[in-house]
């Protein structure tokens, strides 16, 4: 059984992706040896990226956020582009991602479920006015709306719940799929762990490191996801 044959025979594929999809666009992940969580700051990254820290120390939050969470020059890689092609060909029904970079949408995917939000969407905490990424990048301190309110990124911080609509959409996409391709995620944390575990059907895992679901997968590929998906013929 090969990835090509699985995709050829699938009627409805869902893709569930993590940080490993975007590392090939030169966006570092969190948990690898040289990832964000293994670098030294005045505060732990998990603390900085929490709701309470955002409320109590917004200047520190935005300094870190601009420096370590936003990569405006990053472009979609081969994995993003191939997934968009699979959707256009009627093979792929949904991309479910834990990434906040917006590269799936930039690559042309239409049905993208961003579980942790997106750096490209922001809103005023007072009046609700929506802003793009420029509102965050064009100031050196706390970005503010014309009404005076703080402009908050639409990303899910620690201590914040996932959006119920996104979670429901992800569950629906996985439930309706006959094939689930999991790529670029170790499946060590929720919701990735729980969403992948509930799937019933043909399971493919593409990840450099082992995952807890490898034993249940129909195909496990320990390789770069961009190279792997780029080899697929549609």
- pTM for the whole thing? 0.93
Contacts of 68 (CB under 8 A, 6+ apart): 36, 45
3-state secondary structure at position 193:
helix
Q: How far apart are CA 88 and CA 94, in angstroms?
A: 11
Q: Does residue 10 sit within a domain?
A: yes
Q: Does residue 70 sit within a domain?
A: no
Per-residue pLDDT 10s for the chain (234 aa) are 999 999 999 999 999 999 999 999 999 876 555 556 555 667 888 899 999 999 999 999 999 999 999 999 999 999 999 999 999 999 999 999 999 999 999 999 999 999 999 999 999 999 999 999 999 999 999 999 999 999 999 999 999 999 999 999 999 999 999 999 999 999 988 888 899 999 999 999 999 999 999 999 999 999 999 999 999 999
**Which residues form the catalytic set?**
116
The total number of structural domains that make up the chain: 1
Q: Which domain holds residue 85?
A: 1-27+75-116+162-234
Take residue 115 and report the two structure tokens written for it: 């579980």
User: CATH number of the domain that 97 lies in?
Assistant: 3.40.50.1220
Tens digit of pLDDT for each residue in 146-202? Answer: 999 999 999 999 999 999 999 999 999 999 999 999 999 999 888 888 999 999 999
3-state secondary structure at position 153:
strand
């Amino acid at each position: 059984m090969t990835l090509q044959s699985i995709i050829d025979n699938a009627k409805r594929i869902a893709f569930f992706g993590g940080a490993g999809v975007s590392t090939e666009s030169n966006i570092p992940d969190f948990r690898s040896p040289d990832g964000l969580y293994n670098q030294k700051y005045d505060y732990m990254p998990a603390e900085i990226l929490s709701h309470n820290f955002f409320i109590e120390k917004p200047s520190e939050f935005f300094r870190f956020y601009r420096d370590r969470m936003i990569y405006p020059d990053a472009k979609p890689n081969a994995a993003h582009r191939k997934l968009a092609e699979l959707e256009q060909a009627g093979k792929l029904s949904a991309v479910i991602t834990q990434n906040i970079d917006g590269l799936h949408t930039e690559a042309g995917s239409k049905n993208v479920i961003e579980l942790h939000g997106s750096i490209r969407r922001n809103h005023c905490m007072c009046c609700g006015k929506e802003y793009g990424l420029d509102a965050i990048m064009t100031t050196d301190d706390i970005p503010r709306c014309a009404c005076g309110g703080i402009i908050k990124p639409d990303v899910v911080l620690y201590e914040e719940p996932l959006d119920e609509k996104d979670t429901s959409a992800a569950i629906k996409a996985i439930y309706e799929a006959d094939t689930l391709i999991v790529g670029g995620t170790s499946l060590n944390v929720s919701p990735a762990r729980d969403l992948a575990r509930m799937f019933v059907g043909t399971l493919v895992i593409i990840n450099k490191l082992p995952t807890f679901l490898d034993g249940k997968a129909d195909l496990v590929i320990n390789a770069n996801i961009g190279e792997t998906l780029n080899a697929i013929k549609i």
